[in-house]
Amino acid sequence: MAKYTPMIQQYLSVKAQYKDAFLFFRLGDFYEMFFEDAIKASQELEITLTGRDGGTEERIPMCGVPYHSAESYINQLIEKGYKVAICEQVEDPKAAKGVVRREVVQLITPGTVMQGKVIDEKANNYIASINDFQDGSYGFAYIDLTTGEGNITMIVGDWLDAVGEIYSVGAKEVVVSSTFSEEKLREFKQRMNITVSIEDDSAIPESLAETSKGLEQTKLKETLGRLLQYLIKTQKRSLEHLQPVQYYETNQYMKLDIHSKRNLELVETIRAKGRKGSFLWLLDSTVTAMGARRLKQWIERPLLSKTEIENRLNLVEQFLNNFMIRKELREALKLVYDLERLSGRVAFGNVNARDLIQLKRSLEQVPIILGLVEQLGNEYANQLVRDIDRCESLFHLIDASIQENPPLSIKDGGIIKDGYNEKLDAYRDAVLNGKQWIAQLEMREKEITGIKSLKIGYNRVFGYYIEVTKSNIHLLPEGRYERKQTLANAERYITPELKEKEALILEAEEKMVDLEYDLFVNIREEVKQYIPQLQHLAKFISEIDCLQSFAEISEEYHYTKPEFSEDRSMIIKEGRHPVVEKVLQSNVFVANDCHLNSEREILLITGPNMSGKSTYMRQIALIAIMAQIGCFVPAEKAVLPIFDQIFTRIGAADDLVSGQSTFMVEMLEAKNALTKATQNSLILLDEIGRGTSTYDGMALAQAIIEYIHDEIGAKTLFSTHYHELVQLEHSLARVVNVHVSAMEEKGKVVFLHKVKEGPADKSYGIHVAELAELPETLIKRAKEILDKLENNQTENKNIHTTVYEENAQLSFFNIETEPKEQNSKTTQVTKNAEEVLKKLQSLDLLEMTPLDAMNVLYKLQKRLKSKV
């Protein structure tokens, strides 16, 4: 380092402590970056890369951004998953002996950013920590620094369960120990695009001991401690707004794995990855940012407690039946700002006077909101209201102290009201009267000298002065004025009297601004004392906002209050897919029933492509989720069991990141459902087995249905194009065939989208190809081939179809159809086929997992292809 200049040495010394972050190094009015940081930042931010001398022959790469516009550049880097260390000058350059002392005052990361466009007001910005205890358990804690709320749990299970929990909260950053598995870290970075940070200290900091209140387990404290230590070291400021973390158990809520959340498009669409068109988009008629965030949390964690669900449903019903109260409530909520994030900014010390005025205006609406909720006469609502502190003293503090329209800056004065502080009033009076005195002096001097153009002015360098044009200098009385400054066409003067008054005015102005700043800081400190009450108030308002939102959309789209069965039966009459129905914006959506009970637990759904099988399956899941978050549902009637988990295998795509094929993704998702589902779960499986050969796929599909039927007993919707599977209705007691109907009209297919009992008679695949406008010659050729195949199948059904007999397995071959004249090669193939048939007959598929079945089938197929 000795070869570099002292300033570059200082930069390198600081950078060594923040190797994984861009170092914004303050030099005057700019934040500068050097070396690799400069090269990379110039590319990411599209700014000019320059260079400077640093004590070596080669110029050092350098780029920079103005400090007053740095926030936008920082936000760009944070959005891309980078970290930014802010290194400020911490001593006056004039007083510095040598290089000005600089220190990192804050490390901004995707999980700790507090403001700017990076923060979505309708979503939490979580930073998490996870501990792998190597015994099948994982400690998991997450905190939203912008609101102060935090949660913690122990996950007992495999690594996918832990990944699912992290995915469900949408954490932007995860803190782990330096010994954490590299393979698991790659899962975060590549598949989930999460920033990973390292922290080895896991002791709960004394200053934040209150956040661990109620935690007894050492594992939980260690997990939380790691996260808190990281926050303290990176933020280097007060974290008083952090609330005691809430312990929860994952089995308190309906479990929705990564695949189900994605397939059901709960918070974002699969294709556009956006909010519009998602389930969240449909339900969000909230008025406040707090309510929107709470709604997202509820959707990701549906309730299992019938009492809690019905408390919400009953309050939604009250809102629905009281239109005027709901309307007035929405108007009041529109005037409530984001109390949670205002509290966070107060604690962080970056709140300004305008923020406090927003806080005051929000508190002004609290009595109105509470009064409207009490009018509903709902016991659950009254219980919520009883616990609320209205923060009236805080309202009066802000009302008495802060101007209604204060400036944005807190250091330029004009913030504090008259009458709040006597000393400030005295300074203001001195300034006001002083300026009046100067105006009177100007009039008097004009009369004495007879110079009408004479004026008294002020600038920061020379202070107050009397300015006279050179053409009028001869009119000035002898010895009255003292020359202060000469201009091209005028002279500026001062008098002893003006000099004395100037000192009084300037002193008062300077002290007034300083005093206002001190008073504001004191007020801000007083506001800090109310943070717990404000956070509790915010939770109440967010919950009320969510429930009125449910009432709003339930009225608009004619939803029904669901009921819950005790015998696990499901009766949905005229159910609709809520998102599709909204997108269509008309009454063309075809409603469908769904009946499941102890005698019919698996619906085997057949029907052509595009007929609506997947939509039907998704709508059943969404209706269940809506009911369990406390919302009315899109149906004429809905009687539902309370599901503990929902598993979906709908749609498929290659997983290019991990190198997994469509079929492997399909099998892994199916495995997740088959190994974790219980009798109280809902399973949706769409065309399982289509990613492999027909016979493999058909065998797997049947084995999966049998396994669910015999081993799990979960309510299941299973759609398929393997029409041979419809025979399972005769061999499995609780399997029922239904189909989505279609009809031919003038040679064209018409989709009726109506679910009816019984199997489908045709697949209409070529008709769908016609709708897609494939070339006419291609369609004609496809029909010819289909006719031949169907004729061959009629002549020898046993070759192409699966024979179902009592206690029989799939039969793919009929050896008797082989010609008698065979060469030795054909004879060997026949023997192989006979061995395969014997092996198939000896298998007990009910005792095999789907993956075991697939492996056996692979070996048998290999045996058939063998030429030896």
Specify whether the CB–CB gap between 227 and 617 falls below 8 A. no
Q: How far is CA 25 from CA 29, 92, 97, 100, 113, in A?
A: 11, 16, 19, 12, 19
How many whole angstroms separate alpha carbon 655 and alpha carbon 338?
39
Specify whether the CB–CB gap between 282 and 550 falls below 8 A. no
- Compute how many other C-beta atoms are within 10 angstroms of the C-beta atom of residue 402: 23
Is 136 known as a binding-site position? no
- Compute how many other C-beta atoms are within 10 angstroms of the C-beta atom of residue 61: 20
Is 582 known as a binding-site position? no
How many whole angstroms separate alpha carbon 526 and alpha carbon 514?
19
Is 607 known as a binding-site position? yes
Say whether 806 sits in a helix, a strand or coil: coil
Is 792 known as a binding-site position? no
Is 233 known as a binding-site position? no
For residue 294, the Cα-to-chain-centroid distance in whole angstroms is 11
CB within 8 Å of 628: residues ≥ 6 apart? 254, 302, 303, 304, 309, 642, 643
- Compute how many other C-beta atoms are within 10 angstroms of the C-beta atom of residue 495: 16
Is 614 known as a binding-site position? yes
CB within 8 Å of 278: residues ≥ 6 apart? 265, 266, 267, 268, 269, 579
Specify whether the CB–CB gap between 709 and 602 falls below 8 A. yes
Specify whether the CB–CB gap between 243 and 214 falls below 8 A. no
Is 756 known as a binding-site position? no
Joined together, the tokens standing for residue 259 give 């695949």
CB within 8 Å of 101: residues ≥ 6 apart? 89, 90, 91
How many whole angstroms separate alpha carbon 93 and alpha carbon 99?
8
Residues linked to residue 750 through DSSP beta bridges, in sequence order: 743
How many whole angstroms separate alpha carbon 864 and alpha carbon 834?
9
The helix (H) or strand (E) run that includes residue 174 is strand 173-176
CB within 8 Å of 655: residues ≥ 6 apart? 664, 665
Q: Name the amino acid, one letter, at 175.
A: V
Handedness of CA 460, 461, 465, 468 (dihedral sign): negative
φ and ψ at 59, to 5 degrees? -70, 145
Specify whether the CB–CB gap between 726 and 602 falls below 8 A. no
Is 125 known as a binding-site position? no
Only one residue has tokens 């909101």, namely 369
Binding residues for ATP, as ranges, are 607-614
Binding residues, as ranges, are 607-614
